[in-house]
Amino acid sequence: MSKIKYNTLHYIIALLKEYEIKNIIASPGSQNSTFNFICQQDKYFKCYSVVDERSAAYTALGLSEEINKPVVITCTGATAARNYMSALTEAYYRNIPIIALTFYNKISNKYNMEPQYTDRSISQNDIKDISITLPEIKNNEDIISVITNLNAVLSHAKYNKRPVHINCPSSFNYRNQTLPNPNNIWHTEYFYENYKKIKNEIKNKRTVIFIGEHKKFDKETENTISKFAKSYNIPVICDHISNYHGENKILISHYRIINLPLDMKPELIIDLGGISGIYDKGGLFNYAKEQWRITEHYEYKSRLNGRLTKLLIGREKTIFEELVNDCVLQDNYYERIKTEVNKITIPDLPFSLAFIAKELAKHIPENSILHLAILRALVNMNYFELAKSIKVTSNVGGFGIDGPLSTAAGISFADEKKKVFCLTGDLAFFYDMNILGNRHINNNLRILLENNNEGEAMREYNILGYYVNDKCKELISASGHYKSGAKGWAESCGFKYMKADTKQEFLSQINDFCNKDYDKPVIFEVFTDFEQNTNANNKLDEHFKNIFPREACTNKERFFSIKNEYQSYKKYKIIRILGTKFKFKAK
């Protein structure tokens, strides 16, 4: 691992410069002394000394109000920061951007009786909009986290004119007064209007739109996004819960299957929507040098700690209308990706969740709603296309096991004439089964329960259950709880109960389950097992590898090889010697 040259306060100072924040009112103290010294030696900053922290904060209030720009106040540990509260309360209610920069001793905590420790983990709601405590930087992941958090705080102070708080670990490395190279950090610009002035920046970059979870688009907005995507010939990458059905759509599950060369990796991602439930995004965000995020709300959100260089605040329709290219570019970026995606086929699958999702996708009727439990149901469903009129939802906000049945039931209350489907596994089903007895449930609710008698997601690759095999069943994947199934509970709650133990039994009933009218809600329980699902997943993986072969390793490369690797926008040189991997940051 490359040596860490800069500590946390160096990145604070560098980003203050990026945001053109110059004015600092410093109170003396040991914990903030290095910050004060470096800023004092840097002619960029205009520094003032005020000994009393209470006065310092009110002085900053007056200065900030007059220049209409953020002002930094900084102090040491102990009780010093307590004296900021009155002025920060004033700033909160008057929308005056004060950046309270406090420092803490890294070895202190509330249990070790170290002098001058005060607990800043909780503070009053009305003295700041955002409060962050930054770590001491020990590796590259810490650097990215620090930069992301600082951008969230500093952009909020600069553009939204609000008070914020940064709690920073102290450092006494005053000899290193150099700062990180601006090319290795990023800062975020906010745009509230006049989006047209940045459209030229799209033309010369390989660009994609990424849409996370999203409410159903109105027709005008979806048409505008389609027009924008076609005008630059760029793909719109998303999963089913994006509810995007416009032009140039590529499912993220399909994108991660194909094997794109470096000259087809995106350079710019225009991001909108909420959390995506697909963890593996095929390296989509590892290569992009920048992200732009579109949001109607004044909030900083960065997808996977990406380089969020622009935050476009406003209605999606309005923003895309202004960004549409005046004449369609001749670039064939979307067609090149679509050509690869069109090579994807699905093999004949064993009886498994993937097979169930494939058949459900074929039989679910138009204009219905599909609610997916998290993880396996969500991932498997995204291999398969759905009719454009089907709305898809999933509880990816908190991303917990709780509530898939209750959420689907609530959706079904809204329109009793519209069929609502829920695809869930057994643990999530039995976790939430109390809702089935609710007297408001109507016959428009259809629950497809895949019961493999354990939490399969806890046995996936790179999770502990994968490595300990059957030892995981007792506590990790919680096997053996509901092997008798849901029939008794379903029928006692007034549901029609259907069951399948084999592929043939399932195929003989899936169309009726989806399309036949019943006078009661329906639960269709399908029994599979872990081995069947594993075989299906392995078969899919092997099938996709045959379509999109990865570069094979020669005998020589097994002994020695040098390759480039990209992670979180940074380039690394990977050297392998006799099976040992060495990783170096590359310029």
CATH-assigned architecture of domain 8-186 = 3-Layer(aba) Sandwich (3.40)
575 pLDDT above the threshold of 60: yes
Which pLDDT value is given to residue 489?
92
For residues 31 and 101, give the distance between their C-alpha atoms in angstroms, rounded to a whole number. 11
Distance of CA 95 to the CA centre of its chain: 30
Q: Region 488-500: what's the mean pLDDT?
A: 96
For residues 37-76, one letter each, b for 16 or more C-beta atoms within 10 angstroms of the residue's C-beta and e for the rest, the string is ebbeeeeebebeebeebbebbbbbbebbbeeebbbbbbbb
- The CA distance from 348 to 354, in Å, is 10
Rounded to the nearest 5 degrees, what angle is found at the Cα of 252, between the Cα atoms of 247 and 254?
A: 90
CB 294 within 8 A of CB 271: yes
> Using an 8 Å Cβ cutoff, are 291 and 303 in contact?
yes
What's the mean pLDDT when you consider all of the chain?
A: 89
The answer on pLDDT for 587 being more than 60 is no
23-27, 117-121, 393-397: the lowest-pLDDT one = 117-121
Residues 61, 73: Cα–Cα separation, whole Å: 10
Ramachandran assignment for 297, one of left (phi > 0), alpha (psi -120 to 50 degrees), beta (any other) = beta
Domain residue extents for the chain: 8-186, 191-341, 353-539, 555-585
Judged by phi (left if over 0) then psi (alpha if -120 to 50, else beta), residue 423 lies in: beta
Residue 357: the pLDDT is 97
Distance CA 278, CA 510 (A): 26
Note the pLDDT of residue 569: 44
Nearest to 396 by CA among 241, 249, 255, 280: 241
What integer pLDDT is reported at residue 113 of this predicted model?
Answer: 61
pLDDT digits over 203-241, tens only? 889 999 999 999 999 999 999 999 999 999 999 999 999
* Mean pLDDT to the nearest integer, 358-367: 97
Residue 282 CA, distance from chain mean position: 14
What Cα–Cα distance (Å) separates residue 91 from each residue in 57, 85, 132, 133, 163? 10, 10, 18, 21, 6
| pLDDT of 567 strictly over 90 | no
What DSSP element (H or E) covers 295? strand 290-295
The pLDDT value recorded for residue 1 is: 40
pLDDT number for residue 201? 93
Q: How far apart are alpha carbons 430 and 578 in whole angstroms?
A: 50
pLDDT digits (tens, 9 = 90+) for 436-464: 999 999 999 999 999 987 656 665 656 66
The encoded tokens of residue 248 equal 């140039």
Q: Is the pLDDT of residue 309 over 90?
A: yes
Q: Is the pLDDT of residue 568 over 60?
A: no
- Tell me how crowded residue 248 is: count the other CB atoms within 10 A of its CB: 23
Tell if the pTM clears 0.75, that is, is over it.
yes
403: region left, alpha or beta (phi > 0 left; psi from -120 to 50 alpha): left
Alpha-carbon span 156 to 163, nearest angstrom: 8
Share of the chain above pLDDT 70, in %: 88
Which range scores top for mean pLDDT: 54-68, 191-205, 250-264, 533-547? 54-68
Query: Once rounded to an integer, what is the mean pLDDT over residues 110-115?
Result: 69
Exposed, middle or buried: residue 283 (CB in 10 Å: 0-12, 13-18, 19+)? Answer: middle
Selection from 46, 69, 73 nearest residue 58 by Cα: 73
> Which pLDDT value is given to residue 306?
87
Question: 523-548 in b/e burial notation, b at 16+ Cβ within 10 A?
Answer: bbbbbbebebbebbbebbeebbeeee
CATH assignment of 191-341, among 3.40.50.1220, 3.30.565.10, 3.40.50.180, 3.30.1490.100: 3.40.50.1220
Q: What CATH number does domain 353-539 carry, 3.40.50.150, 2.40.10.10, 3.40.50.970, 3.20.20.70?
A: 3.40.50.970
